[in-house]
Copies of this chain bind each other. A is one copy, B any other.
């Protein structure tokens, strides 16, 4: 359906709002004594045009079929809030009085959940990836909404923008329109001096259609948005030439106003020049009456319900790696849900290793291959997950956690619904060596408040963890090693995580019980500990094995009695920041120390070698575990 131009009357209204919004921007930053007026004033005409042009109803701003507008340069929040307020999304007075105050939801950088705001930004260079994710989800979910992304010029230098550009072209995202506010001014000076980017040449080199306009000319923006929105071949970028501080003579093109508000006197002068009433006193009074705190906004995300299917149980005699169980579970979800509920997976050129190939075979249309562009891939996947597609992302641990740590943090802040599978964690990776050993899958994720972390012990627990994450809200990381392992069995030789087992988030599994010592383990080390326990039992030494599949939220209280004697943790993880340290925190909280406690893990960037050799060196193989316990118990 062809998108039409806005009417002349509408354009006239918006022009008038442009003048009023400029006043709002100045008022809110002056009242807050903080914020970014300069870029807000260069972007304001673009924002008014975008929010008016896009199909978003201020009365129903979270309609799943709405067009999405992503603002990448989130520090222009005064401009975004002014435009949205004046277009009827919320009360503008509350913004002007409350901007950046602890008692107001109108924070320093735009926040998802505020009507009209689709993505929390502020860290630059992320918005185009979010837009690509939404545009992909639009196609995958069949909703076919349009996505608009506004960006600043300084952030065009950021590599992630180039990654997003290529992804948009690869997937022919003709429902994606980007607008760049090219005011040529950033914190350190002129954008073209600080780090020159030939923006037009860059977009063209990556295959985008480019339109250039005056970013303060409403008619020109109207024409450009109409042309871009109807262009069917792929994504379009509108490079809008603007002036920082536009509209107030003494602010125009002055780089210093990037992040500096006007004082009261200057603000009055500027308001007079704009022909806007000086009602600053009113807002200063309102601000004094604000509460001292506001609850964080919870955005109303549509949660995609899927059928988790029936768990697969791998028999006691099978030998398998967790990542294969992950791949098979995903393929199973694909088979069950295809044609019913949209599931998508995102890969970064590692599908044979992360086992996403299994999914791809079943549902190739929903397999998104982003190549060696991890930063972009993680943001794309996060945005997809809240835009109508149940989204899985898989990568090696060093890429899906370390390389994209901040992108995952921003997903978390955005309260996405992303399911991440990281494979090749630990020195279990073996020969690929230290650059590929992810040793912080607990220690890094511990810093992210929202992510749930599951480190399954074997393929059976992996299968159940995948299905659990698939049907429970929020961000999950499932961390898996590389190597094949024995299926963990109970004392009778039956699969421990078999048909009768139900995954419960946070539960600590008591795999073996014994009075002589307690070994606490997680992930691929559990199978080694079980072997050690069975070996020790033959010698008359009986140990308890606690498997901690959810380290960050482990319910140690429930297994407290096992933790009072001789306790040792073994982990294929940095010993300074992993399982052992979580136990130490628990002890302090619970108010007791075990009779004896030791934590074994990786204490340095490790060498390259076979898993077998490395586990021996690190003291994590069954033999080393048994030997340590023997020394203790004797």
Interface residues, chain A, with chain B CB atoms under 8 Å away: 32, 34-35, 74-75, 100-103, 107-109, 111, 120-125, 154-155, 157-163, 166-167, 169-170, 186-188, 194-198, 201-202, 204-207, 292-294, 296, 347, 349-353, 369-376, 398-399, 402-406, 409-410, 412-413, 430-436, 439-440, 443-444, 446-447, 449-450, 552, 574, 576-577, 581, 583-585, 587-588, 591-593, 597, 603-605, 607-610, 613-614, 616-617
Contacts and interface: CB of A to CB of B under 8 A. Distances in A.
Looking at A111, A154, A376, A409, the one whose CB has the most chain B CB atoms below 10 A away is A409
A353 to B, nearest CB: 7
- Cβ-closest 5 pairs across A and B: A159-B159, A102-B609, A195-B371, A122-B435, A107-B608
Contacts of A583: 588
Given A431-B35, A587-B584, A447 B440 contact: yes
A160 B157 contact: no
Contacts of A617: 102, 292-293
B576 A608 contact: no
Contacts of A587: 584, 587-588, 593
Contacts of A371: 154, 157, 186, 188, 194-195
A394 to B, nearest CB: 13
Given A196-B170, A207-B198, A109 B608 contact: yes
Looking at A32, A201, A430, A432, the one whose CB has the most chain B CB atoms below 10 A away is A432
Contact of A102 (B111, B205, B402, B607): B607
28 contacts: A101-B609, A103-B613, A107-B431, A107-B607, A107-B608, A108-B433, A123-B403, A123-B435, A154-B372, A157-B166, A157-B373, A158-B159, A186-B349, A188-B369, A188-B371, A194-B369, A195-B349, A201-B205, A202-B202, A292-B613, A402-B406, A403-B405, A443-B447, A444-B444, A444-B447, A449-B605, A552-B576, A581-B584
Contact of A195 (B100, B108, B194, B373): B373
Given A593-B591, A609-B102, A447 B159 contact: no
A409 B413 contact: no
B608 A102 contact: yes
State the number of copies, please.
2
A480 to B, nearest CB: 18
B109 A433 contact: yes
A102 B166 contact: no
B196 A120 contact: no
A35 B432 CA distance: 8
B187 A198 contact: no
Contact of A431 (B34, B349, B370, B399): B34
A306 to B, nearest CB: 26
A402 B399 contact: no
Contacts of A349: 154, 186-188, 194-195
Contacts of A577: 443, 446-447, 577
A243 to B, nearest CB: 20
A439 B444 CA distance: 12
A449 B437 CA distance: 13
Contacts of A585: 581, 584-585
Given A123-B398, A585-B584, A607 B444 contact: no
Contact of A196 (B169, B296, B433): B169
Contact of A122 (B432, B443, B591): B432
Given A100-B609, A108-B431, A296-B607, A195 B167 contact: yes
Given A100-B431, A107-B433, 5 more contacts: A102-B608, A108-B432, A202-B205, A439-B447, A577-B577
Nearest to A198: B205
A465 to B, nearest CB: 22
A585 B582 CA distance: 9
Contact of A375 (B159, B351, B439): B159
Contact of A125 (B121, B194, B206, B372): B372
A113 B92 CA distance: 61
A610 B35 CA distance: 12
B353 A435 contact: no
Contacts of A413: 434-435, 605
A446 B443 contact: yes
B102 A436 contact: no
A435 B410 contact: yes
A188 B360 CA distance: 12
Nearest to A357: B188
A202 B603 CA distance: 42
Contacts of A412: 605
Contact of A162 (B162, B186, B597): B162
A421 to B, nearest CB: 17
Given A188-B347, A296-B605, A432-B109, A206 B195 contact: no
A410 B402 CA distance: 10
A431 to B, nearest CB: 4
Looking at A154, A202, A403, the one whose CB has the most chain B CB atoms below 10 A away is A403
A108 B588 contact: no
Contacts of A188: 347, 349-352, 369, 371
Given A584-B585, A617-B292, A369 B610 contact: no
A365 B35 CA distance: 32
Nearest to A407: B403
A84 to B, nearest CB: 17
A415 to B, nearest CB: 10
Contacts of A409: 402
A614 B446 contact: no
Given A577-B447, A591-B593, A108 B204 contact: no
